Structure 1
Amino acid sequence: MGLKGITVNTAAEAEAHIYAEDDAAIYQSILGMDAVADIGQQCKATVISNNKIRVSDGVVVVGGHVARIPYGEYEDCEIANGQTGKNRNDLIVARFETTGSGGVDKMTCKVYQGTAGSTAADPSITQDNIYQNGKVREFPLYRVRIEGLNIVAVDQLFTVLPSMATMQEDMTPSTETLKSGVRLQRMGKLRILNLVDTSSAADGTIVNLAVGDRPANYVFAPAIVRGQTYPDFFISVTPASMGTGKVGLFRGANVQMQYDGYICSQIAWLVD
């Protein structure tokens, strides 16, 4: 067929030629992934009983095809009984299936029951490439962990796709002065710390970062300290897992340094 016009008008008597897969291809090219959209309760899961998980309102995209649980409604997912002394993982998926191009499509929530045993494992699902004429694609929403007769946890497996408004807000840069000579720039997940003519305490601490500004791993950058002859000063930023968010001045083999004069550096990292 070659090039197919989508946003074009055709004569009233012309045969219908725009199908769901045409729109899905557009959405997939824009979104690039299966996702739950940032609207409503974002398909939040609630444990109703050991045999029922309730999925609240939201919008889900599978292979570019869109479905929703309307506001005020929900989808109840039935979970089979557990077995005493055994563990099991069940998966709740959003399932798209089609008979083919221009055919009949269906989108549903489905529960896949895992195999009970001493160690739980996720059951298999189908993830065809719908754009390439696949027939079934399943997007995992939740893992239901069952130990014995009880549901002990429900793990969210999807990424919430931020709206354009949220992305614009996240990408708008802001700057905060943490103390004299220390300025922190924020832009989305990026953090840039500028140190100009600042000082460190006896344990090397320059500042402690707020929880939302701490990196996942240690971050280092060289530092200049006026009047010092040591060539190996550096700045270290402590990761979130260590609890303090300390930005400190060090030298050599992690020797903490106190300095009341001119410390200069710039260091950048990403937050989770």
Structure 2
Amino acid sequence: MRALIGDSEFDRDTAVTRREPGVYDIDLSAGWTIISAVNGGYLLAVLGRALADTLPHPDPFTVSAHYLTASQPGPAVVRTETVRTGRTLSTGQASLFQFDDEGNEVERIRVLASYGDLGTLPDDVRTTATPPPIPPLERCFGPEDGPAPVDGSSAITERLMLKLDPATVGWALGAPSGKGEMRAWFGLADGRDADPLSLLLAVDALPPTAFELGLKGWVPTVELTVHVRHRPAPGPLRVSITTRNLAGGFLEEDAEVWDSTDRLVAQSRQLARVRLG
């Protein structure tokens, strides 16, 4: 049975409990880890849910996050603040905190976001963007078709329906293409349809483009900005990520997310650190 929006593992694991206005508690799930850290897209969805409760508008339009230190599974506190409210947009900020081994509070991630109501936007599209050329889902490959993508935890892959374009899986066979590209069909493993909040996860859920550039290991996000453009239609999403420039140990990843009606529903850019040599 397909999970419904509001009643899936993703919803339960991103749910925050309001302790008082602007303060939320959550237990970060180990189910969304990669290597040893909690996935950045999952964290963005957690803060996005807290901001949706804080602000008068329901949907994220633009979310910019700075990842300060790696988050770990376990208790965390989210603190939110309303920066400005208007008729069509409201802006807020949020930070997630955890305690280190010495008991000191550590800020893990800080977000500035503007929210609105996607349902009120005019249905006028003028674009030169086109959906990525991904083969049919049955001709693509998932984590179950190859070795573990990284050393350490790959728990997040068990919660996703992820089918990679064969043209971007050379890294898994020991023959990376040298191109900074990653493309895949994306969904949640329990069948829950996508919504604006899960788009914050989708832009950061594929293997890093660094793998196809011949690099290995953790590629931690430094900064990630997501633009949500439309409420996605039911069905699997197509995600395309490209990197054009790796320099000084950092690369950018530009992502596009397309829904089942060939509509561009989200875009993002992130800066990430890579290990060279």
TM-score by length of 1: 0.21
Structure number having the greater strand percentage: 1
Flag the structure with more relative contact order, 1 or 2, with Cα contacts below 8 A and sequence separation at least 6: 2
Structure number having the greater helix percentage: 2
